[in-house]
């Protein structure tokens, strides 16, 4: 099981679910998105800890979310603010439109959400070092990086200018710790951010300078032993299981027909019986091994392997081209002709509607 979801407990072992409705919604959005992306096919192991309340030294925490991978560790602060987000000065309060964004309890001394999540990450990192969960000499342990992020879960938040300001200000400013990598995210950005978590420490010359990693057992042990969290079965039970990662719907004369599920990291498309996305034999301009769809961190990528060609939205893929598929893309296998021998597919990440529908331009005119 590559992804496990945990919820924090305090030192008396009382479970602490997310404190507010916006945090609960944000955690659910992120968990669902990461589960859908990583759980079914990722070779790495991840632990998501919602609302961790303590560390292994007994220190109290108030972080919203921690993501632990074999490659690194990230701490996330969730905000429900909407409007244009302003964060140009690292030492000043952030604003959502004219309204100041709260940075946790007043007693914590944080001026803005970045300082807030930075303080949580600093406590976590210090305690990981104290318990020797970062290995090596003390000077080596100081080099371990921790990623921090402020994630705006409200779809009305406009974060683009804030992200630019972070890129030009924080990376060059003393407000960013030497051990810290900081980002501003939407909840959909968390997938790529989590995949990029890195300690940025190698294992030394004796190990060929390979990057330092945690084992899968350590990943889940950090969640349970260090953070004292319990497996959040109620949340995991709401996650999708054994469903396709994406879909290809065959359209015949513009009407919806058979739906092909994409379940694997690499999916072959063609008329060969062993093809994972099997195209019926009547589409005789389709090759036995016509195309390949590969799952990447950016999404699903289509590559043509055929004689008669693969077309996406009316454009033929060139030899060796890798086309990143977008929701609703129309794919033609075997030609552009209005011909029953050409197979018309529509790509989607969400299940097609159960009712028969039509696709505008699914069967394209002769060229």
In the structure, what pLDDT confidence band is assigned to residue 56 with cuts at 50, 70 and 90? very high
227, 9 contact by CB (below 8 A): no
- Find, among 295, 211, 302, the residue nearest to 42 by Cα: 295
92 within a domain of the structure (yes/no): yes
Strand, coil or helix: 220? helix
Tell me: do 90 and 174 sit in the same domain.
Answer: yes
291, 333 contact by CB (below 8 A): yes
Tell me: do 164 and 251 sit in the same domain.
Answer: no
What is the signed CA dihedral for 192, 195, 197, 203, rounded to 10 degrees? -150
Is the pLDDT reported for residue 362 higher than 60?
Answer: no
What b-and-e string marks burial along 96-117, b requiring 16 or more CB atoms within 10 Å of the CB?
A: beeeebebbeeeeebebbbbbb
Q: What is the pTM of this model?
A: 0.69
Tell me: do 169 and 297 sit in the same domain.
Answer: no
Q: Among 217, 236, 255, identify where a domain stops.
A: 236
Mean pLDDT of 286-308: 91
Cα 148 from Cα 338, distance rounded (Å): 53
- Which of the pair, 337 or 153, is modelled with greater confidence? 153
Tell me: do 277 and 335 sit in the same domain.
Answer: yes
Mean pLDDT of 29-45: 79
362 within a domain of the structure (yes/no): no
**pLDDT score for 297:** 66
User: Percentage of the chain with pLDDT > 70?
Assistant: 90
Q: Which domain holds residue 325?
A: 246-348
Q: Which residue matches tokens 């990623």?
A: 147
Lowest mean pLDDT among 82-86, 147-151, 229-233, 256-260: 256-260
Half-sphere CA count of 136, side-chain side, radius 13 A: 12
- Find, among 275, 319, 272, the residue nearest to 293 by Cα: 275
Is the pLDDT reported for residue 20 higher than 70?
Answer: yes
In the structure, what pLDDT confidence band is assigned to residue 1 with cuts at 50, 70 and 90? low
| H-only helix segments in the chain | 21-34, 113-130, 138-141, 160-169, 190-195, 216-221, 233-236
Tell me: do 56 and 198 sit in the same domain.
Answer: yes
Tell me: do 334 and 208 sit in the same domain.
Answer: no
Lowest mean pLDDT among 67-81, 148-162, 277-291, 333-347: 333-347
Tell me: do 255 and 299 sit in the same domain.
Answer: yes
Is the pLDDT reported for residue 174 higher than 70?
Answer: no
Number of domains in the chain: 2
Say which residues have a Cβ less than 8 Å from residue 47's Cβ, sequence separation at least 6. 3, 4, 5, 6, 67, 68, 69, 219, 220, 222, 223
**pLDDT score for 241:** 66
Tell me: do 211 and 275 sit in the same domain.
Answer: no
286 within a domain of the structure (yes/no): yes
Lowest mean pLDDT among 85-89, 241-245, 257-261, 289-293: 241-245
315 within a domain of the structure (yes/no): yes
175, 99 contact by CB (below 8 A): no
CATH classification at residue 251? 2.60.200.20
Tell me: do 92 and 171 sit in the same domain.
Answer: yes
């Amino acid at each position: 099981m590559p992804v496990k979801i945990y919820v924090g407990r305090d030192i008396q072992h009382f479970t602490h679910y997310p404190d507010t409705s916006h945090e609960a919604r944000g955690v659910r959005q992120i968990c669902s998105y990461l589960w859908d992306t990583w759980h079914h096919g990722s070779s790495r192991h991840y632990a998501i800890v919602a609302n961790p309340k303590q560390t292994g030294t007994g220190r109290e925490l108030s972080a919203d979310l921690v993501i632990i991978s074999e490659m690194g560790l990230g701490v996330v602060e969730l905000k429900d603010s909407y409007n244009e987000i302003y964060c140009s000065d690292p030492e000043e309060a952030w604003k959502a439109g004219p309204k100041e964004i709260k940075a946790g309890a007043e007693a914590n001394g944080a001026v803005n959400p970045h300082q807030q999540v930075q303080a949580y990450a600093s406590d976590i990192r210090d305690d990981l070092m104290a318990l020797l969960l970062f290995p090596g000499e003390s000077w080596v342990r100081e080099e371990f990086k921790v990623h921090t992020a402020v994630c705006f879960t409200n779809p009305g938040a406009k974060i683009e200018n804030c992200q630019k300001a972070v890129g030009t200000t924080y990376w060059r400013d003393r407000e960013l710790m030497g051990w810290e990598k900081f980002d501003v995210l939407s909840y959909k950005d968390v997938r790529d951010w989590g995949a990029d978590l890195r300690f940025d420490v190698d294992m030394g010359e004796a190990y060929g300078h390979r990057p330092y990693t945690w084992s899968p057992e350590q990943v889940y042990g950090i969640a349970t032993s260090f953070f004292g969290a319990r497996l959040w079965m109620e949340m995991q039970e709401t996650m999708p299981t054994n469903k396709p990662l994406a879909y290809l719907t065959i359209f015949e004369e513009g009407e919806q027909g058979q739906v092909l599920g994409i379940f694997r990291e690499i999916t072959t498309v063609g008329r060969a019986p062993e093809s994972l996305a099997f195209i019926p034999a009547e589409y005789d301009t389709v090759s036995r091994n016509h195309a390949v769809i590969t799952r990447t961190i950016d999404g699903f990528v289509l590559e043509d392997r055929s004689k008669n060609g693969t077309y996406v939205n009316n454009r033929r893929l060139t030899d060796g081209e890798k086309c990143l598929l977008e929701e609703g893309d129309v794919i033609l296998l075997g030609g552009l002709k209005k011909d029953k021998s050409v197979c018309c597919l529509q790509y989607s990440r969400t299940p097609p509607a159960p009712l028969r529908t039509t696709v505008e331009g699914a069967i394209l005119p002769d060229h």
